[in-house]
Copies of this chain bind each other. A is one copy, B any other.
Amino acid sequence: MNQEPMRIPQATAKRLPLYYRFLQNLHSSGKQRVSSAELSEAVKVDSATIRRDFSYFGALGKKGYGYNVNYLLSFFRKTLDQDELTEVALIGVGNLGTAFLNYNFLKNNNTKIEMAFDVDENKVGTKIGDVPVYHMDEIEKRLEEQNVTVAILTVPAQVAQPITDRLVQSEIKGILNFTPARLNVPSSIRIHHIDLAVELQSLVYFLKHYPVAEQEETVSTDK
């Protein structure tokens, strides 16, 4: 009743949250069943790829019928550990950081920003969107206290590495890095980069050099 022994391909793993969200949509619109073709239309992923992705988890559908929305949804809820809350810290309450604090998009996914950090004394001690802002000096203490192991990094590029070094000292396991810096961390820590400037520039490059382009792309994360 545990994980399948086989490791899911990375490309597949990255699509799981996407599938999950659209299944939620289907569910709340009252749909009972769905085919890989319909899902493909909705998430813009080839239907064969969807079937292949699902098949890594076993036979989730029925031939001639498709997939039962409720079953699939509860299966992915388990697979994506949606029953337990993942607590996240946000480091750097600037423009972007503030946007995330106000964004409640995190609540949908059983992922919650529990605390934020900044050096600005005007922000320290306040709450933004219900999230308390602590002083950057308290990172180690607070993270360990609450056992937070995921951080969203939205600090200025110059301080990204030093602050990351401090996160490494804590029990941090994963960092969602919005700074342009490429961080040095031990290989036990996972980093996903979201580089907004690079994304925009690469879009522009594709527009100029790939005249009638194919679809798709979902940042984040190369490889």
Using CB atoms and an 8 Å cutoff, list the residues of chain A in contact with chain B: 3, 7-8, 10-11, 13-18, 20-21, 42-44, 80-81, 86, 88, 94-96, 98-100, 102-103, 105-106, 108-109, 111, 149-150, 152, 173-174, 176, 180, 182, 187-188, 190-210, 212-223
Q: Complex formed: what's the CA distance from A49 to B160 in Å?
A: 25
Chain B residues with Cβ under 8 A from A174's Cβ?
203-204, 206-207
Q: Which of chain B's residues has its CB closest to A173's CB?
A: B207
Chain B residues with Cβ under 8 A from A208's Cβ?
81
User: Which of the residues B44, B198, B204, B209 comes within 8 Å of A18, measured between beta carbons?
Assistant: B198
Q: Complex formed: what's the CA distance from A150 to B203 in Å?
A: 9
Chain B residues with Cβ under 8 A from A42's Cβ?
182
Contact indicator A102/B111 (Cβ below 8 Å): no
Q: Complex formed: what's the CA distance from A106 to B96 in Å?
A: 14
Contact indicator B205/A17 (Cβ below 8 Å): yes
Contact indicator B7/A201 (Cβ below 8 Å): no
Chain B residues with Cβ under 8 A from A106's Cβ?
197, 200
Query: Known contacts being A88-B200, A187-B214, A187-B215, is A220 close to B194, with CB within 8 Å?
Result: yes
Contact indicator B43/A182 (Cβ below 8 Å): yes
Contact indicator A218/B198 (Cβ below 8 Å): yes
User: Which of the residues B95, B150, B194 comes within 8 Å of A207, measured between beta carbons?
Assistant: B150
Say how far A151's CB is from chain B's closest CB, in angstroms: 10
Chain B residues with Cβ under 8 A from A44's Cβ?
182
Chain B residues with Cβ under 8 A from A13's Cβ?
202, 205-206, 209-210
Q: Complex formed: what's the CA distance from A96 to B20 in Å?
A: 23
Q: Which of chain B's residues has its CB closest to A19's CB?
A: B198
Contact indicator A209/B109 (Cβ below 8 Å): no
